[in-house]
Amino acid sequence: MTEQQHSSLQGAVVSQIPDTVCYIPNFISEEEETQIVKCVNSVPQPKWTQLSHRRLQNWGGIPHPKGMIAEEIPSWLQRYIDKVAALNTFEKGIVPNHVLINEYLPGQGIMAHSDGPLFHPVVTTISCGSHTLLDFYKRLETAEQQQPKLEFSLLLERRSLLVLRKDLYHNYLHSIAERDVDSISEASIKNLHMCTEKFTEGQAIKRGTRLSLTIRHVPKTSKLKLKIF
């Protein structure tokens, strides 16, 4: 995909599902992917937060209901914030100011969740190192603890960009199943026709280590800005 094609999200809307999700394969080059992985893995160990099923890095600050104390984002990461912002992904005047980097080893995932009110309701995610399968569930309004039904999935290829907003942000939960291998289902994976690689029904694709760069805007920030050296 050329830089000119990257200038907007026209043509990137995934059909057959709420028209509030866009998918761009090969949003970054192989060289950019290699550089991202190198930079992420070379940061000081204390920058990582270890969770039970994955580890992550916060850049730009730690989102908090009382306001995020803004931190300067390093230039190697800022270039991808700028690249995403150049698509007019966010509303006019809204500039992304936070990047969450998650590392998923094969077999790791994340439970069904929404990104919540701490963020402007647009989520943009760059995938590096490996694909993953992102599952979507309708948010249940009932208080009953019933199992939500899988509505559809998206295959996120390495080097791709995913944009979620509006209905998919507010009314759906998304998750990544904890498994080593994903199976291709043409019925449930709604963006297969947009993927760079061509897949066949029932094909098994093995996961590698994936780094996801989730670029968002935190509206509530503290005036105190920290410079990280």
The CB density around residue 24, as the number of other CB atoms within 10 Å, is 22
Residue 65 lies in a domain: yes
Contact by Cβ (8 Å): 126, 141: no
Q: What is the DSSP letter of 214?
A: E
Q: Are 105 and 113 in contact (CB under 8 A)?
A: no
Helix/strand/coil for 1: coil
Predicted pLDDT at 146? 66
- Residue at 68 is within a domain: yes
Tell me which residue range forms the domain holding 111.
Answer: 21-219
Beta pairing partners, 216: 98
Global confidence as pTM? 0.91
The pLDDT mean for the chain works out to 90
What residues are paired with 174 via a beta bridge? 113, 136
Strands 172-176 and 161-165: unpaired
Q: How many domains does the chain have?
A: 1
Whether 178 maps to a domain, the answer reads yes
Is 100 inside a domain boundary? yes
For residue 25, being part of any structural domain is answered with yes
> Does 180 map to a domain?
yes
What CATH number should be reported for the domain holding residue 26? 2.60.120.590
Highest mean pLDDT among 63-77, 129-143, 156-170, 205-219: 205-219
DSSP-derived 3-state class of residue 162: strand
Whether residue 5 lies inside any domain: the answer is no
The stretch 205-212 carries a mean pLDDT of 98
Tell me, yes or no, whether 116 lies in a domain: yes
pLDDT band at 33 (very low <50, low <70, confident <90, very high): very high
